[in-house]
Amino acid sequence: MEPPSLNMEPEQHEERPRKPLSPYSISVGLRAVAEEMPSSRDRRALIRLSEQIRSGKSLDDLLAKNRDLPKDLAAVVSAGVHTGKLPQLLEEYLTCHQSLTSVWRSFYASLLYPFTMFVVAMVIMVIFFGVVIPDFSVIFSDFGLELSALTLVILLLAEFASTFWPLLALGCILLGLLVVLNRYLPFKAFRSKLFQSLPLIGKAQKMAASSEFCSRMSILVDCRLPLEEALRITSLSLKDQYLAKMAGRLAKRVESGETCDELARSTSGIHHSLANSFRWAKDPETYSDGLKSLASVFASQSRGLTNQIAVIIEPLTIFGIGAFVGITIIALFMPLINLLNALS
């Protein structure tokens, strides 16, 4: 079903001209927002900008030369000063930033839990393969016991682990480095897209990224930036590199002359709700409200998926560890039980 046309003529309201904000007011507003920013880097950048504005330097020059301030925040400050709506836009940006921080923190916490369980499982396996099983292997050899197929498999795994443990340790170190140095490695967009194909965890990341896209776009639309500029700035601000790449491509398509309806019809590779939302872009107020609603929906879906991850991973991991320990104990004690039966 085609959505209703949203390209309606807005009611004309006569607005009184806004009084230009003084450098002191701008400086105080930026410092107040800086105190609430979750990121220490953004906090320092805002405080530095506030002090420079108070000293009498030009805001436009400072924003053009500033490399520490996020691109979308710089656009919000510039638009807020020129429209006289700096307090409202900064408050909206701060609310958005805090909400996104909560969404991403929940997502990363969902990754931390299975990673912790994986480490626990690896420690248990190392204890068994490195300490417990070799002692049993010596006992079996001394008594010349006949071993079952299951026991032989366990002993072979222990021998493999003791022989190639340097390679296994190196593999774990490299895996840890991949996680730590993820942002510095090439093919970010491809790796992000590949990660999103994973069940539950990948979809949770996709929903969190979509929520961030909608939140950041809604603020820039409220600043009345052109669609192509809003998309370009959003592409420089997103954590998810695949969606950032797609936003950059969309900005180029708008610059080349594609209409909002054409974007809605022909855009693929992103969530269908994001593509359909471009139909509203002709009316900035409606578009901004629609993006905020989508951001809330995507954030709720991401949190729901992260909760499912914890619910599913915990019993699976406990069952896996229990099964490994149980099978190993049975395999190791089976020959000894057979020996005792033979002696009795």
Q: What is the mean pLDDT of each run of 10 residues along the chain (344 residues)?
A: 41 49 84 83 87 86 83 87 84 87 86 79 81 82 82 87 81 79 81 88 92 93 92 91 92 91 84 89 92 94 88 83 88 83 74
Element (H, E) at 40: helix 40-54
Q: Which pLDDT score is estimated for 107?
A: 87
Answer whether residue 221 is part of any domain. Answer: yes
Q: Which pLDDT score is estimated for 132?
A: 81
Q: Which pLDDT score is estimated for 183?
A: 73
Measure the CA–CA gap between 136 and 332, rounded to whole angstroms.
7
Measure the CA–CA gap between 280 and 294, rounded to whole angstroms.
13
**pLDDT, tens digit, for every residue of 63-106?**
888 888 888 888 888 888 888 788 888 888 888 888 888 899 88
Count of all residues that appear for the chain in the document = 344
Q: Write 116-122 long-range contacts (CB < 8 A, 24+).
A: 117/313, 117/314, 117/317, 118/317, 120/317, 120/321, 121/317, 121/320, 121/321, 121/324, 122/172
Report CA 76 to chain centroid distance, whole Å. 23
Q: Which pLDDT score is estimated for 213?
A: 95
CB 87: neighbour CB atoms within 10 A? 15
Measure the CA–CA gap between 93 and 69, rounded to whole angstroms.
13
Answer whether residue 252 is part of any domain. Answer: yes
Answer whether residue 17 is part of any domain. Answer: no
Q: Which pLDDT score is estimated for 269?
A: 81
- Name the phi and psi angles at 315, rounded to 5: -65, -35
Contact predicate 128/321, CB 8 Å: no
Answer whether residue 276 is part of any domain. Answer: yes
In the block, tokens 């420079």 appear at 52
Answer whether residue 302 is part of any domain. Answer: yes
Measure the CA–CA gap between 301 and 303, rounded to whole angstroms.
5
Answer whether residue 64 is part of any domain. Answer: no
Answer whether residue 123 is part of any domain. Answer: yes
Q: What angle do CA 38, 228, 6 make, to 5 degrees?
A: 95
Answer whether residue 63 is part of any domain. Answer: no
| One-letter identity of residue 20 | P
Q: Which pLDDT score is estimated for 20?
A: 64
The model carries a pTM of 0.77
Q: Which domain holds residue 101?
A: 92-344
Measure the CA–CA gap between 311 and 299, rounded to whole angstroms.
19
Q: Domain tally for the chain?
A: 1
Q: Which pLDDT score is estimated for 68?
A: 81
Q: Which pLDDT score is estimated for 176?
A: 76
